[in-house]
Amino acid sequence: MRALKLHELSLADRLADLAVDALIDEADLSPKPALVDRRGNGAHSDLHLGLMHASALSLWPMFKAMAEAAIEFDEIGLPLREALGQIGREGEQAMLITTQGVNTHRGAIWALGLLTAAAALQPRAVTLTAARLALLNDRYAPQPLSHGVQVAQRYGARGAREEAQLGFPSVMQRGLPQLRTSRLQNVGEQNARLDALLAIMTELADTCVLYRAGPEGISAMQQGAQAVLEAGGSATLAGRRRLHELDLQLLALNASPGGAADLLAACLFIDRLDGAL
Ligand SMILES: CC(C)(COP(=O)(O)OP(=O)(O)OC[C@H]1O[C@@H](n2cnc3c(N)ncnc32)[C@H](O[C@H]2O[C@H](COP(=O)(O)OP(=O)(O)OP(=O)(O)O)[C@@H](O)[C@H]2O)[C@@H]1O)[C@@H](O)C(=O)NCCC(=O)NCCS
Ligand SMILES: Nc1ncnc2[nH]cnc12
């Protein structure tokens, strides 16, 4: 039988591949502070690396369907936004069936879902297009008292919704420039990705951290990440020591930066779009 060549895959297939690859690469990256990685479960009792992989793979049909919806509707508007919401909710159900009820990738469904659709629609203006989609109000979205909503009420924090509506500033202004700067310094790809994650953590109001550890957790995350970068980044001995300290500090606070992890996956996805389409 003739082997299928990569360029014979449809655009939607390739975007879904890129999104799942980004999620798996994020999960595998180690050592991430207090997050699930190759070393262990971080600050999570119900997550492990195999579950993160299975969850990422379960989302492939959802990402493909989001890209196909964007191609079919072919314009930014409420019909596409509401179709994406419906596909996202179904994807969330598929994830929960795979993980037996554990929330592995809720934030990633939101961020990477919007970016996948945006890449299918406007490959030259992906984050702007994703932001315009995120600004549209899906009339069928449920309004649960999520952790994000609870910490928004308590601390006025801006969460996943606003990050997308603003065009992913944590990725575009922090993560992606750091990823590329670290690569230019020849620190190795894994260290460049760790540095990108740390750069995202320096300013993010991660609602997972806020919910679990309040403003103290956010300060520990932001200042600790900054300290690693100022010490020379994760490829240096001084930076590694700071990274280890940050890991211990976040574990002691039970503070898991799950939102930052999702945004690292978004960063890897956007990085790879160049040249892949
Ligand atoms: C619009 C939504 C994003 C909902 O937003 P909201 O803030 O109301 O909802 P949350 O349920 O709190 O989820 C947001 C998830 O986004 C990630 N995140 C956190 N902070 C940020 C940030 N500043 N910027 C970007 N992304 C951020 C984070 O996801 C990761 O953490 C998950 C674990 O979270 P947590 O809830 O704390 O943990 P649990 O296991 O549930 O509890 P404990 O362990 O603490 O006991 C993990 O999954 C990561 O992915 C936030 O969780 C959008 O999601 C939405 O509308 N959803 C409804 C369904 C839908 O329509 N979907 C389709 C949309 S196209
Ligand atoms: N590696 C990870 N660990 C814990 N929560 C996450 N959410 C997304 N990626 C994660």
Residue 209: count of CB within 10 angstroms of its CB: 32
269 Cα: distance to centroid of ligand 2 (angstroms):
16
Q: pLDDT category, 3, cuts 50, 70, 90?
A: low
ipTM value: 0.95
Q: Give the CATH number of domain 11-275.
A: 1.10.4200
- State percent of the chain over pLDDT 90: 94
Which ligand has the minimum distance to the alpha carbon of residue 211?
A: 1
pLDDT tens digits for range 55-114:
999 999 999 999 999 999 999 999 999 999 999 999 999 999 999 999 999 999 999 999
Closest C-alpha among 268, 266, 276 to residue 111: 266
Judge if the beta carbon of residue 36 lies within 6 A of ligand 2. yes
Burial profile 118-137: b = 16 or more Cβ within 10 angstroms, e = fewer? bbbbbeeebbebbbbbbebe
Q: pLDDT category, 6, cuts 50, 70, 90?
A: low
Judge if the beta carbon of residue 47 lies within 6 A of ligand 2. yes
Q: What is the pLDDT of residue 268?
A: 98
- Residue 205 contacts residue 251 (beta carbons within 8 Å): no
88 Cα: distance to centroid of ligand 1 (angstroms):
12
pLDDT tens digits for range 162-196:
999 999 999 999 999 999 999 999 999 999 999 99
Both tokens of residue 112? Answer: 């990477």
Give the Å distances, CA to CA, from 115 to 156, 171, 229: 26, 12, 27
pLDDT tens digits for range 227-262:
999 999 999 999 999 999 999 999 999 999 999 999
